Amino acid sequence: MPDTNFLGAGATFPFAVNPATGRVEVSEGKKSVKESIFIILKTTLGERLLRSDFGTNLNTYTFMELNPTTLQMLRRELVNQISKCEPRVDDIELTAERGPEGMILFNLGYTVRDDNVPENLVFPFYLESGMEQEGEGDETGEVDFSDVLESAGEYVNDEAND
């Protein structure tokens, strides 16, 4: 039987409190690994003062032209940073496919070291994050991204694949 202590446990991402008990929700095992990878992808390099090498430069690709060179640069950066920041995974494979205009869907395949069972994570990245979509936003041109964050959380917290 695999050692689950190797995978660890911690507060869920996104942070949640159990309404019935009032305690912080905890994720452990493979769910913890999946959430950790998502945190790596959402954290900008230099954002954490004591771990300035944690995260990616994913946000620097916003508004860049979507071509094979850009996709290859993104792919290389993400694979390198995930392998560097998440020691519990091996065999990282990343593919990217175009989603709706201005969006890339990253399909990340990896193997958790404790049991060598392949896992996957789908991560949406918006190259044109300031773009208005079908009536969203207001007169100032601002866009409400709460639905984007909720849908991204659904990718991380999808236990059907676990």
Digit-by-digit pLDDT tens for the chain (162 residues) are: 455 566 777 778 778 898 999 888 888 888 888 989 999 999 999 999 999 999 999 888 888 887 888 888 889 999 999 999 999 999 999 998 877 777 888 899 999 988 888 999 988 888 765 444 444 444 443 434 444 445 444 444 444 444
Local structure of residue 159 (DSSP, 8 states): G
Q: What angle do CA 94, 58, 37 make, to 5 degrees?
A: 55
**pLDDT at 115 (0 to 100):** 85
What pTM, to 2 d.p., does this model score? 0.69
* Class level of CATH domain 4-154: alpha beta
Provide the pLDDT for residue 151. Answer: 47
**According to the model, what pLDDT value does residue 53 have?**
93
What is the model's pLDDT at position 81? 95
21 HSE (CA, 13 A, CB side): 7
Separation in Å, CA 51 to CA 46, 47, 54, 100: 7, 8, 6, 34
Among 71, 69, 121, smallest CA distance to 93 is for: 121
CA distance 132 to 144: 9
Residue 154, classed as helix, strand or coil, is helix
